[in-house]
Structure 1
């Protein structure tokens, strides 16, 4: 089957469309892409709800990208017309263009987020009459996107249940999965660990990640690429390395992490922590982080997406999400799949979708509970416990490869 990935998605920022297309390609489908990344992420899109100038900029960029896509669509006509079109993540508008350009093709919408749900989770819809109007418009946007699609792809049964009854029959659950770069990074770490265990010197070429343009702020100030390259390196004093990366949204519960690290400091648990990213809750996190030396924190405001798998794989433990919102209880985040694929032990919140999908691949703690998270990190400071957690994680990684997660979708397309 000929499958065309179409839209303004950006796999460097949101890898989900790339995972689906890679999985379909590996299952024998002829996959092509007509992709013009918009360069506007979820945060900027929801910011347009509050700022008319941001909304105008978004509309202008979208129109320009659509013009290029429409022009490029001429290459996929006649004998080259696609049988199915995958509209990538954040495709609420793009699915309308896909339907207009290819009215007879089967349209697959990767509906990983509901616009109204995301705005509510981030507190961006506002209150009063204005908030109600925005909420109505966003629900209308979700409804029009769902109506334009023939197949609606979601990531959890909880999100499937959010699709209105009249469209739910179109829905299919496809786990987010992890791109191939993540298990490749895990393989490089295993090779480096094997060299170290054999007593041989591990040179920089054995486990390398390229220089990221990183500028750090916070309790421990980074020193650009040099500091980033050293993040997560194994130590001989029994300390474990922990990494969290994300947009610091309420869903992710980063303040819970900061409180847990402060508690680890008080308990005398030695941790070397790397935080990657910035966002809505970053200020609270900086205020709550420990200031002593027992828990050292390196904060990288930004790491290039190509470098992130290698950075994460250098760590023993990857942290998932710990928020308490309704949305936080419905998702299995990218970072859970990616941390597992990178060979880390994963600690994340104990929610129904995460437990169902991840099983024994993760260490679970109650959402919003910093004490429980601190206890989990303290237990992983024991070498035997850490080894067992990493082994369970690595054993599960095969389930989250692209060709595995798209199995159900491939059956729908057959």
Structure 2
């Protein structure tokens, strides 16, 4: 699949854009990794999430987004240089202590090390205070946003079995996950269905038959058509998207020559876009409630095979669109728009493929492999994967165009958020109802 060009995104950022305004080159220049406040606190955030993260990926994306939005806001409010470093460190520290209190000792030690490199005086004191203030404001603005694990996994009643409709999948036949994402409060989107795509291919369509045949042939546990390299691709990309994209974003930050504030903005925009993308993904998944390939192949009308088993275990939520690929589409869009579509070679490893190292020179290559990987794993159709890329791209472009108010203290401090004005409070009430009692019988959206 060929993604649409990013020229319109860059144009839309315009004079008011806080990161692209400095004129990122089309191709990032490889630079040696160096110590900096941005990289040090990026690594500290990654370590904190790994050690004390939530079981829900979107909750951990929220931790990144809050911490780095606070950092970007604080760094923009002090002079460039050491003061920005102190403001960033203070903001990320304060936010992470609130979101991962079990890591307070480690975070305090990291802050102490950071501040030792900043000369004492009023500038340092003001920067630390700015970081604390912005962290408090952003944390307050996101309170009760529905991105805690209990809200994320609000109960979803399984529909009665019918052709095309999702059913719990083997081997665990677990309840549906992430239904509550669609009721959560986005950072930038005014509503979760803003970019909802059309339905998956009809069960009697040629595209559906082709999709199913491809998964059946290449995604089965005992496939004779999937090469060793393709099996490696499926296994490499099987794990958490948040985990797999932590290193590519770090590469972009490490190779950037921009200021501390601008690098914080890159990290913030990346994770803000990914939170909103995951909300939009669940909206579409639970609007269509499309069955997974394993259910279609085992019980559908096209050459049913009750023994067919995918290479990898199918996640417990509907097929359309692919969440891995909405993530990839959004990540590629942000990185391409803000640091350029290509970069010098960088290596990437995966916790689900120990001992495997792959080398990349473009963000799009990550997306292309993800599209193939979910088919090769036997857990998505290609239509679901390609729809995911489109949805993630659309959401990320919207975030890049409209995230400006998030960096405005007045907007957050006074609690003026378009989402709540447009029905977010009603969604919060509904979310609480879903957490405390089973939802009403499912009907299509």
Q: What TM-score does the superposition give when structure 1 sets the normalisation length? A: 0.26
Which has the larger strand fraction? 1
Q: What TM-score does the superposition give when structure 2 sets the normalisation length? A: 0.25
Higher relative contact order (CA 8 A, sep 6+): 2
